[in-house]
Structure 1
């Protein structure tokens, strides 16, 4: 419990601290042009930090924040915050899932409430291409555990012995006279239903156990097919040749000065060009984010090494407990095309220059005093329906675009349909009231333009001088 209290103290010290500057360096391709690595993670506390972020690396050690450091997905279910995500790829590469803790520290939650009466569900997204994601849903994994009180840090790995996924997570539960977090598991094929949860890992006495991640090791390296790293007061390593079989204690990383009082959130990555792995560890106690510990044999504790000074760079955003995927060339191409460097912009009204386009409760209007509010920030993407056009994606609701429907504008999630793409696509032309500004002509109703009327955004024909002013905007920072 002392580790848990230390962890909570570190978490709440950071509540309210938000990143105010984010950037993306252009990824540099490796000389051999091998595909790189994708990290899914969260960044910290608050409703913005506890969302889904992506980073890319060409060498597994130097990371660039994608999407200009902004979230790529935002939870709209449960607590509306997500932490500790895992990125799961099906064996044939036809499906992907994101699973994450349904928890928002500092967003109305309390320490006792989150530990003893937290969400028993995890948040799940699904994709067929790694870039277009479903709406999130809640999967109740701990509801069937008698007096199970939460569900934290989910992970999943495909098990060829049972042809399904072993889904495992931490739940706080009283058992055998001790109330503490233990690792439970269930099996699933689709992340929509699970088998009855069973205890997967328990430690003696009152020892807490929250974070575990498994890596599969190829034949010829060490004595075990699977190695798992767990945060349990130490960073403990165990090996097994059967995912649901017996696990053997291998040791811990205290020999290189790392204990569970300092680091957590173990995250494995295999270098694609050599027999070497890195075990990323989140320096939560010092609020330092991830650092890599390397090894040539995950099951041999003596082979782990601390990183040399200057040997890695984690990018601008702090990386917290997440998951790394070795990309294929096709996956990398899609990911980098979907989340390029596109700085956030605002749309300033021509005839009410103290007002900017913003969304509020998914409605769209022009308002005063929005400053640099994320509600008034958009990324101007290549048009969803046609080249040479633009679409407006929300910064703080990634995947949501300005869309017209019955001549009204809403902020709506992209459903991938041709109709949505057409409704959310516009031609940027010289401003109808001032050619140094811009106007935006509808792609599928070319006789109409974006304009404001009674401060609400509309799609209308433009026939008067007043309307021309209403339909003119400046694209600004």
Structure 2
């Protein structure tokens, strides 16, 4: 009898674990980016399905678009979202929060670069939860003409990375320079491997490079050093990183040949192309990969029925 009870309990625990296991979500948008937030989902982080629905239409910013949506599930249980709301002219980004990815708070414009009147743009804000300091870090790319050295790029296309931090999305620290690698840089993503071991995946936006590289640091805010050689071809951008098993997968937009591609790595030094191992819905544009419960996914599917 005890053995029978043990077997039943083991089965029930296994079923509960399977049901409660988180799934992967991928924030997304389609060009021309005026429709709003889309979402993909996956059981294994390799094969993705599109929910084929817009879950939040952008209402803030000069152009009122939603590009580069970045989502993090915080310790408060909320999904926090930031996005690019204009190509040029804005000195901030959009923000909203949700408990289920369906019902969203009122959208707010966060004017992080208003103290820099010459700012040309605020691109691709990326959220990272710093569990060591119990705060959110938001990094983005901006151009301030004649501030930094440049190559063949125009002054209004010479980007550097900036950051702000917040604990409540109401109070933000004054924006500061996050990364100046000596060249125009955009689309950076912070990855924590373990304490005192951080990787930054970034786009070298100089001509003719326009490819992806990595750098390393002991703290989330850097300083980042040892910028690598590129691991992608030219005209690639928008890296999204997820750990699946022992590997880190880096998805990116290879806009030069109009394909979405991926590589895997264990150490961010050796990279393996895995395009034939992944599947991405057509039209997907880059966001971030995060986790949600199967209950949240069930609610999303019900919403789009």
Give the TM-score range, shorter chain.
0.7 to 0.9
Looking at structure 2, the residues matched to 136 and 323 of structure 1 have their Cα atoms a distance apart, in angstroms, of: 19
Instruction: Return closer, same or farther for 1:281/1:176 CA change in 2, 3 Å cut-off.
Output: closer
Give 2:194's aligned residue: 218
Aligned pair partner of 1:80 in 61, 64, 70: 64
Bigger mean CA deviation after superposition, 172-181 or 35-44:
172-181
Give 1:100's aligned residue: 83
SS in 1 for 2:159: strand
1:322 partnered with 2:284: no
1:291 partnered with 2:261: yes
Query: Is contact 1:170–1:210 with CA below 8 Å preserved after alignment?
Result: yes
Structure 1 runs (4+) greater than 4 angstroms displaced: none
Aligned pair partner of 1:54 in 39, 53, 59: 39
Looking at structure 1, the residues matched to 66 and 38 of structure 2 have their Cα atoms a distance apart, in angstroms, of: 11
TM-score (ref. length: structure 1): 0.54
Instruction: Return closer, same or farther for 1:152/1:76 CA change in 2, 3 Å cut-off.
Output: same
1:250 shift after superposition: 4.8
Instruction: Name the structure, 1 or 2, with higher relative contact order (CA <8 Å, separation 6+).
Output: 2
1:161 shift after superposition: 4.5
Aligned length: 275
Structure 2 matches for 1:54-453, cutoff 5 A?
Answer: 54-66=39-51, 69-78=52-61, 79-90=63-74, 92-103=75-86, 114-115=87-88, 118-174=89-145, 175-176=147-148, 179=155, 180-204=158-182, 207-218=183-194, 225-232=197-204, 233-254=210-231, 258-259=232-233, 261-271=234-244, 274-288=245-259, 290-298=260-268, 301-302=269-270, 304-307=271-274, 309=276, 311-315=277-281, 317-327=282-292, 331-340=293-302, 342=304
Query: Is contact 2:27–2:69 with CA below 8 Å preserved after alignment?
Result: yes
Structure 2, unpaired ranges of 5+:
1-17, 205-209
Q: CA RMSD in A?
A: 2.2
Structure 1, unpaired ranges of 5+:
1-31, 104-113, 344-477
SS in 2 for 1:162: coil
TM-score (ref. length: structure 2): 0.82
Looking at structure 1, the residues matched to 77 and 275 of structure 2 have their Cα atoms a distance apart, in angstroms, of: 38
Residue by residue, what CA displacement relative to the aligned partner does 1:89-135 show, whole Å, maximum 9, x if unpaired?
21x242221100012xxxxxxxxxx44xx211211111234432112
Query: Is contact 1:156–1:167 with CA below 8 Å preserved after alignment?
Result: yes
Looking at structure 2, the residues matched to 225 and 291 of structure 1 have their Cα atoms a distance apart, in angstroms, of: 26
Instruction: Return closer, same or farther for 1:76/1:161 CA change in 2, 3 Å cut-off.
Output: same
Query: Is contact 1:40–1:324 with CA below 8 Å preserved after alignment?
Result: yes
SS in 1 for 2:298: helix
1:152 shift after superposition: 0.6
SS in 2 for 1:322: coil
Looking at structure 1, the residues matched to 81 and 221 of structure 2 have their Cα atoms a distance apart, in angstroms, of: 22
1:291 shift after superposition: 1.8
